[in-house]
Amino acid sequence: MKAWIASFAVCALALVAAPALARAWQVDSAHSTLTFTNTYQAVAYTGQFRTFTASIDYDPADLAKAKFDVSVDITSLDTQNSERDSTALGADFFDAAKFPKARFVTTAFRQAANGDVTAAGVLTLRGVSKPVVLTVEFVPHGDAATLDVTAHVKRLDFGIGSGQWSDPAMIGADVAVHGHLTLDAMQH
Amino acid sequence: MPLRSTDTGWGALVRAFHWAIALLIVLQAVLGLTMVQLGVTPEKVRVFALHKSIGLGILALVLLRIAWRLSERRPADPAGTPRWQRRAAHLAQLALYVLMVAIPLSGWWFNSAANAPLTWFGMLQVPSLTGGYDPLWKPRALLVHQSLFWLLVAVLSVHVGAALWHHFKQRDDVLRRMLSGKSRGGGG
């Protein structure tokens, strides 16, 4: 009888407590990518940051508690061109020696009437913090999920390739960033 | 001035090809040798783009020139030229045709392996020969490009030296008929 009451209490507590916690997810790094597309001399190219960590709290039914906190290792840049990579990490661009990490933290999630979710947040890149908006596509399947986020980042807002490199005909001004995350539910 | 070559002189089209390509090769060599010493600036990127565009232009001109040349006769060698000299001259000319195709191709190959953008004067996007970044073949393609260039310099020294020797020492029409299309003895 006591055991029965105890288990009932635990279940009841779990039912009450669960909606209060946004669901926490673990990123499966091996199946997650952070890529971007841009133009160089008016020719499109794709790059990626091979190393990043993300803390993801997300429940589509409770966006008020959702939170993304992403930290990117700038030195893990790879655009499949060694000269371009070393130039991009230099002082004129990412200045990775001084700013080896970028960070994006969400501030608020919104759901439009058609169901589309966007996340407002602050991107800190090369020592500059600016608001950036992500589109969020979250597809749960059981204890796993995929999360696709897209943002448009104006590189000159963050002083990446300013001055002599600011000409968008040489390097595109608008960088489309795309995160594809494979998530596993964390055990509470 | 006939368009086609005759027994005694080169036709106008062959001469146009010859001198246009000669001029472009000199320009290309100067660009190639100086651009590699520039610091990383937008200027350097533009000079590289120009070198690539001119190289593609030379390749196209040389292919047209070869097609035209195959449909033509060649003027007779000066009477009394020793057999070994004819052989050497024709062999050098054949080598020049091979190099004028191989050097732009190796540059295109190197550019492809480096995954660098390639357009023809920003107007026409030129496809990659390697289907993306190829760090294994990239240094080899560069070595081939540079080695073939120095081979070109060597063969051109023979070609130009022989032309000048014919003109100033032998006092025959070998150089004159490439300049004006006419032999001194009339005809052509």
Q: Give the residue among B187, B175, B172, B176 at the shortest CA–CA distance from B1.
A: B187
What span, in angstroms and rounded, lies between the C-alpha atoms of B111 and B91? 30
Element at B49 (helix H, strand E) = helix B42-70
Q: Give the residue among A83, A84, A94 at the shortest CA–CA distance from A125.
A: A94
* CB-CB contact of A41 with B49 (8 Å): yes
Contact between A167 and B116 using a beta-carbon 8 Å cutoff: no
Read off the tokens for A28.
Answer: 């499966």
The CA angle A34-A68-A86, to the nearest 5 degrees, is 30
* CB-CB contact of A87 with A93 (8 Å): yes
Domain residue limits, chain A = 22-185
List chain A residues with CB under 8 Å of B122.
41-42
Residue B107 CA, distance from chain mean position: 14
List chain B residues with CB under 8 Å of A43.
117-119, 125
pLDDT exceeds 80 at position A187: no
Q: Give the residue among A64, A148, A55, A153 at the shortest CA–CA distance from A111.
A: A64
Q: How many CB pairs under 8 A join A and B?
A: 37
Contact between A164 and B41 using a beta-carbon 8 Å cutoff: yes
List chain A residues with CB under 8 Å of B133.
80-81
In chain A, the residue whose alpha carbon lies closest to the alpha carbon of B50 is A41
Contact between A164 and B122 using a beta-carbon 8 Å cutoff: no
Mean pLDDT of B33-37: 97
CATH code for residues A22-185: 2.40.128.110
What span, in angstroms and rounded, lies between the C-alpha atoms of B24 and B172? 27
Q: Does A170 touch chain B (CB under 8 A)?
A: yes
Contact between B132 and A40 using a beta-carbon 8 Å cutoff: no
Read off the tokens for B127.
Answer: 């496809």
pLDDT exceeds 90 at position A2: no
Report all structural domains of chain B as residue ranges with CATH numbers, in order of start: 12-75+83-179 (1.20.950)
Residue B7: pLDDT band with limits 50, 70, 90? confident
Candidates A41, A45, A170, partner chain B, best to mutate (most B CBs within 10 A): A41
pLDDT exceeds 70 at position A6: no
Residue A86: pLDDT band with limits 50, 70, 90? very high
Contact between A42 and B41 using a beta-carbon 8 Å cutoff: no
Please tell me which of the candidates A41, A80, A87 has its beta carbon nearest to residue B49: A41
Mean pLDDT of B163-182: 93
Q: Give the residue among A55, A37, A32, A77 at the shortest CA–CA distance from A180.
A: A32
Please tell me which of the candidates A42, A80, A90 has its beta carbon nearest to residue B132: A80
For A10-24, write each residue's pLDDT tens digit: 555 555 444 445 799
pLDDT exceeds 80 at position A176: yes
What span, in angstroms and rounded, lies between the C-alpha atoms of B57 and B43? 21
User: Tokens 């292919």 map to which residue?
Assistant: B63
Using left for φ > 0, alpha for ψ between -120 and 50, and beta otherwise, residue A41 falls in: left
Q: Dihedrals φ, ψ of A127, to 5°?
A: 80, 5
Q: What is the pLDDT of residue A9?
A: 57
Q: Does A86 touch chain B (CB under 8 A)?
A: no
List chain B residues with CB under 8 Å of A90.
40
Residue A72: pLDDT band with limits 50, 70, 90? very high
Mean pLDDT of A27-38: 97
The distance of A135 to chain B (nearest Cα, Å) reads 30
Mean pLDDT of B166-174: 94
List chain A residues with CB under 8 Å of B115.
45, 79-81, 84
Three-state SS sequence of A102-165: EEEEEEEEEECCCCCEEEEEEEEECCEEEEEEEEEEEEEECCEEEEEEEEEEEHHHHCCCCHHH
Q: What value of ipTM does the predicted structure carry? A: 0.81
The distance of B132 to chain A (nearest Cα, Å) reads 8
For B40-93, write each residue's pLDDT tens digit: 999 999 999 999 999 999 999 999 999 999 999 899 999 999 999 999 999 999
In chain B, the residue whose alpha carbon lies closest to the alpha carbon of A84 is B116
* CB-CB contact of A92 with A163 (8 Å): yes
| Mean pLDDT estimate for chain B | 94
Q: Does B118 touch chain A (CB under 8 A)?
A: yes
Mean pLDDT of A98-119: 97
